[in-house]
Structure formats: C-alpha cells, structure tokens
Amino acid sequence: MFRAKLSVVPGWLALCAAAWLVAGCSTTEADKTANWSPNRIYSEAKDEVDSGAYDKAVPLYEKLEGRAAGTPLAQQAQLDKAYAQYKAADKPGAIATLDRFIKLHPASPAIDYALYLKGVINFNDDLGLFAFMTRQDLSERDQKAAKESFESFKELVTRFPDSRYTPDARQRMNYIVNSLAQYEVHVARYYYQRGAYLAAVNRAQLALADYREVPALEEALYIMYASYDKLGMTELRDDAKRVLTQNYPNSEYLSRGFRAKDDPWWKLW
C-alpha cells in the first residue's frame, strides 16, 4: 500500500524563507510623522503649500485631521486640505472635503470661508492650455459649475452679509448672472448662424425672460430682430428693433451686426 509522503522543507531553506518574509515586510514605508506633534505636522504641511507642493501637503493634512481630531486645529486642517486639493487640480476632492466640513461643523466660525472657497472652486473653471488660441468664452461652455458656484455665493451673502468674503462673492455673483445670460445668447447666435431662425428667437426670448439688466440682453434683442427679418415677420421685426433702440440707443449691432471676438468680456479675475 502506497502512503502519501509529506515533503519536508530543509531547515536552512525555512530560515531563508522566513528571512525573505521579514525583508518583504520591512519594505513598507515607515510613517515619518509618527513622532511628530500636531503642530509640527501643520507646519510641515504649510511649508509644502507655500512651496507649491500641494500634492504633498494633502496627506499631511489628512494625518493632522486624525491626530488632532475634535480640536480647532483639525478643522483648520480640513479647510487647508480643501485649498491644497483645489490648487492641485483635484476639484472634486476639494468640494467633497468642504461639503464634509460644512456638514460636520455647521456652527464653525469658518463656515463663511468654506462657502466662499466652494464657490471659487466652481467659479474658477480653467479654459485649459489652448484657451489663448481658441479664445473660448466662459459663457460658451456648460453652466453647471457656474450655477453651483452661484448657489454657494448666494448662501454666503445671505447667511453672512458682514463676512469679509461677501463683497467679492457679490461681484462674482453678478458675473455669473451675466455669464448665464450670455450662454443663452451664445446658443441663440449659434442657431441664427445656422439658419434656425425660430430656434434663435426662442433662445433669445429665454434670456430676456430670465435675466434683467445684463449686457447680454442687447445682443438677444438684436438676434430677435435679425431672426424675424430672415423669417419675413416684419411686424415682430419692427417691434424687436423698437425695443432694442429704446433700451440701447447707441447700439452698434444694427450698423455692424455681431461683434468680433476681441478681448473676452469675462476677463475680470
């Protein structure tokens, strides 16, 4: 009768295997902050931010959140981490950090800053490397971020009218409103230039109905006038022209048509 044989590993080989396992475990990177005080971690993270190494600052702030949990320093770490994430081009991460801060610390004296930073992150929608070539207008792209930015600024100015961040937030809100109106006008112009005159009228009317006292409305009225002219609807064309000249007596649209893209209107910051 045959019996199964258990293979026996020589003693020296077992020792080598154990040594290899120990060596493998030793490759785990040691936590250099293990013996650091919370203040030192904060100082090191701030140095990384000051030097522009935002990606290195983020994990330090995360460690600080855990080490200083329940203290004002931990709250400061959250806010600073959000800023570092934003500067490191991790906008979703920064927004998530701020939302968490606002939820966990609703009574914090820094809530106004959290709302302001959240608005700025959505507001600062970078055009990218080729912006100087395409000269793309902020109003020509999806407006989801702009609307979210507006809501953050609106909450800030409503809840904290005396905050140091409120004046700038109000300015940015005015910009966003014009940007949203200009977006509707951009779409209306797109339809007009492609011969979809009825669609152009409808989009221009949407801008006129939803917004008040913004520069984009001058072009919206001109698009309505020009579209009605193309459609042969002379009575509506004349009405649109009358409203345009009443509200913008010095309008150059009637003499030279659509404006060429020189310096973008939105370059405020």
pLDDT tens digit string along 37-87?
999 999 999 999 999 999 999 999 999 999 889 899 999 999 999 999 999
In a domain, 156, yes or no: yes
Q: How far apart are CA 160 and CA 163, in angstroms?
A: 5
CATH number of the domain residue 161 falls in:
1.25.40.10
Q: How far apart are CA 193 and CA 188, in angstroms?
A: 9
To the question of pTM greater than 0.95 for the whole model, the response is no
In a domain, 14, yes or no: no
CATH number of the domain residue 209 falls in:
1.25.40
In a domain, 262, yes or no: no
pLDDT at 141: 57
Sequence-distant (≥ 6) Cβ neighbours of residue 208 within 8 angstroms? 217, 220, 221, 224
Mean pLDDT of 167-182: 92
226 contacts 207 by C-beta, under 8 angstroms: no
**Do 82 and 197 reside in the same domain of the chain?**
no
- Taking all residues of the chain, what is their mean pLDDT, rounded to a whole number? 83
Residue 132 predicted with pLDDT over 70: no
43-57, 90-104, 114-128, 239-253: least confidently modelled range? 114-128
Residue 224 predicted with pLDDT over 80: yes
- ∠ CA 57-86-74 to the nearest 5 degrees? 50
**Do 116 and 73 reside in the same domain of the chain?**
yes
Helices (H), the chain: 11-25, 38-50, 54-67, 72-87, 91-104, 111-123, 131-134, 144-159, 166-193, 197-210, 216-231, 234-247, 253-256
Domain that holds residue 151: 38-125+134-170
**Do 143 and 223 reside in the same domain of the chain?**
no
**Do 43 and 104 reside in the same domain of the chain?**
yes
Residue 140 predicted with pLDDT over 70: no
pLDDT tens profile 9-44: 454 444 444 554 444 554 556 778 888 999 999 999
In a domain, 204, yes or no: yes
Other CB atoms within a 10 A radius of the CB of residue 106 amount to 8
3-class secondary-structure state, position 120: helix
pLDDT at 89: 93
**Do 52 and 121 reside in the same domain of the chain?**
yes
In a domain, 197, yes or no: yes
Structural domain total, the chain: 2
pLDDT at 30: 77
**Do 147 and 192 reside in the same domain of the chain?**
no
Q: How far apart are CA 192 and CA 194, in angstroms?
A: 5
The torsion angle over the Cα atoms of residues 231, 234, 239 and 242, rounded to 10 degrees, is 110
In a domain, 266, yes or no: no
pLDDT at 31: 79
